[in-house]
Amino acid sequence: MSEIIGAIFDLDGVLVDTAKYHYLAWKRLAAELGFNFTEKENEQLKGVSRMRSLEILLEIGNIHANEKQKEEWAQKKNEWYVEYLNRLDKDALLPGTEKYLEKLQKHCIKIALGSASKNAPLILEKLHITSFFNALIDGNCIEKAKPDPEIFLKSAEAIHLQPKECVVFEDSEAGICAAKNGGMMAVGIGSQEIIPGADLYAANLSELCNKKFLLEG
């Protein structure tokens, strides 16, 4: 196995506790459209783009709509989501985020963001963690949603590394598939039952802070 010298992070649910706000905003839209949307169903939306998420939601609710209507609903959901984001503070960082990023930086590991979110720059700025990243690849830079590997291949390229030299940290099944499809090692943040397919698992980054993983040298 090649030496791992690059780390690519998903954002929502890995570095920041925003996955719950995505869920609440979609749940609100579902309620307006007249159906209930559960946390279990929400797993299918993690890691995928805003429009694809809406399509999955509408399939669950058995609702048909034209493109214009879909655009309006996606925008509405995003406005509710951004209301939550505007209230974000450092408490939204998940356990170990800053400590782990600091450790990787100290060990000269290149760090990239690989997030499907178009709101990623806003979130990083609000939490003052933008400067940890050598490259930012987000929903504004990609055409194909996870599980397509495009986002992580672009992230690796942006930090001038081969895919096999990078590890991806992900909390979604689509994201883990994307990492493996791109030939990268995948660390699942969460449990194997909910997000199968990763090479190793941790409950959060704090758990990895005290391990030697990635930090030799």
Nearest-angstrom CA–CA distance, 68 and 53? 16
Question: Tokens 């989501």 label which residue?
Answer: 81
Nearer to Mg ion among residue 71 and residue 123 (C-beta): 123
Contact pattern from residue 4 through residue 33 relative to Mg ion, giving x for each residue in contact according to CB under 5 A and a dash for the rest:
------x-xx--------------------
Is 138 a residue of the active site? no
Q: Which one-letter DSSP state was computed for residue 114?
A: E
Q: Residue 22: name the closest of 171, 194, 133 by CA.
A: 171
Residue closer to Mg ion, measured from CB, 31 or 204: 204
**Residue 67 dihedral angles phi and psi, to the nearest 5°:** -60, -40
| Residue 119 near which of Mg ion, ligand BG6, none (CB within 5-8 Å, type-dependent) | ligand BG6
| Residue 147 engages Mg ion in binding (rule: CB under 5 A) | no
Give, as ranges, the residues between 87 and 146 that touch ligand BG6 (CB under 6 A): 115-119, 139
Q: How far is CA 7 from CA 22, 36, 41, in A?
A: 25, 37, 29
| Cα 44 to chain centroid, rounded | 13
User: Restricting to residues 172-191, which ones interact with Mg ion according to CB under 5 A?
Assistant: 172
Binding site for Mg ion (CB under 5 A): 10, 12-13, 171-172
Please identify every residue annotated as catalytic. 10, 12
